[in-house]
Amino acid sequence: MSTPEQIAEWRAKRYNGTVIHLRRPNPELMILRVRPDFPVPPHQPGQYCSLGLGYWEPRYPGCQEEDLAEGDESRLILRAYSISHPMLIDGQLPPPQNEWLEFYIVLVKFASDGGKAPGLTPRLFMLKEGERLKVGEKITGSFTLEGVQPTDTVLFLSTGTGEAPHNYMLWELLRRGHQGRILGACCVRYQRDLGYLATHRHLESMFPNYTYLTLTTREATSDGRKVYIQDLITSGQLEERLGLPLDPKTTHVFLCGNPKMIGVPTVDRETGERTYPQPTGVIEILEGRGFRCDDPRAKVRGNIHYEKYW
């Protein structure tokens, strides 16, 4: 059992960032801004860094019981987080700044596979403004706007907090005066899980080339059916709202969040044969229509880009 003095020492030694803003759209969702003690390194919209807290920190009530081994208590838990972005401040697209980073995080109370208790989010959800945490010094990732031309159609398809990197890329496109159509669609359980909804609605009214669609899987829809991102594409609704056919030559698709929505294929290196996972994900549907996903191992950039959260 650690003493308050030990904990104070671990925090002073290991933490290098301060929570300067925290908003909870609902008790299990947070948008937080963190100011690192070091200058924010140059990076691109869409990339990620890590956040961390010590196992010694308190945990949010009602989460899966944790079984710590001897010595764990002094260790740090680090996880990857995409960098989000406030798309509007006082009704305007905010100018670039390099003092803080915004994150959009959901509380994971239980491991979905019945495995080890979630380590970090039950602790992150105890944080208050002014408190300290660990911020990774490195910002990295290939989920970026590289290759997107000013007149291209851009689709941002996500589940839950998978919207985070899309928010940053959307801000960047709007700031650059992107001329092509931009459509964002996010699938969540309940409407209350859409932490940036009001901002997206405001942006739609400011930018005629931007459309934001929401899908809720646990709330009654008009026909009582669950609609996922995959259904949005196969039903033709996405193209209808876009007002354009999905043309692989002029469209970039960004997918982020739940790996089932994304559906990354495995590729046989010798034969090139692609095997898609079940249930059918967005990549399989779009590759059937002439798109091709990035292949980081072969260093090939396609027109479907993805970031899996687990």
Ligand X SMILES: Cc1cc2nc3c(=O)[nH]c(=O)nc-3n(C[C@H](O)[C@H](O)[C@H](O)COP(=O)(O)OP(=O)(O)OC[C@H]3O[C@@H](n4cnc5c(N)ncnc54)[C@H](O)[C@@H]3O)c2cc1C
**Which of 79, 85, 181, 200 is the binder for ligand X (CB under 6 A)?**
79
Residue with tokens 């046989």: 268
* Residue nearer to ligand X on the CB measure, 37 or 66: 66
Are 210 and 182 in contact by the 8 Å Cβ rule? The answer is yes
* Least Cβ distance, residue 48 to ligand X (angstroms): 4
> Where in 174-233 is the site for ligand X (CB under 6 A)?
none
Annotate 4-34 with DSSP letters as a single string.
HHHHHHHHHHH--EEEEEEEEEETTEEEEEE
Residue 65 interacts with ligand X (CB under 6 A): yes or no: no
Residue 161 interacts with ligand X (CB under 6 A): yes or no: yes
* Residue nearer to ligand X on the CB measure, 166 or 181: 166
CA distances 276 to 193, 219, 285, 306, 308, Å, are 29, 29, 10, 15, 15
* Least Cβ distance, residue 275 to ligand X (angstroms): 22
**Which of 118, 184, 195, 302 is the binder for ligand X (CB under 6 A)?**
118
**CA nearest 267: which of 300, 290, 289, 230?**
300
* Least Cβ distance, residue 273 to ligand X (angstroms): 27
Tell me, what DSSP letter sits at residue 296?
T
| Amino acid symbol at 140 | T
Residue 8 interacts with ligand X (CB under 6 A): yes or no: no
**Which of 34, 40, 54, 82 is the binder for ligand X (CB under 6 A)?**
82
Residue 307 interacts with ligand X (CB under 6 A): yes or no: yes
* Residue nearer to ligand X on the CB measure, 124 or 238: 124
* Residue nearer to ligand X on the CB measure, 183 or 256: 256
* Least Cβ distance, residue 64 to ligand X (angstroms): 9
Q: Which residues contact 42 (CB under 8 A, 6 or more apart)?
A: none
**CA nearest 229: which of 279, 282, 182, 167?**
282
> Dihedral of the CA atoms 56, 135, 188, 197 (nearest 10)?
130
Q: Which stretch binds ligand X (CB under 6 A): 77-85, 125-133, 238-246, 261-269?
A: 77-85
* Residue nearer to ligand X on the CB measure, 195 or 302: 195
Alpha-carbon gap, residue 25 to 18, rounded angstroms:
20
Alpha-carbon gap, residue 104 to 225, rounded angstroms:
28
Kindly state the number of chain residues that form the binding site for ligand X, as judged by CB under 6 A. Answer: 23
* Least Cβ distance, residue 163 to ligand X (angstroms): 8
Residues at the interface with ligand X (CB under 6 A) = 48, 79-82, 103-106, 108, 111-113, 118-121, 160-161, 164, 307, 309-310
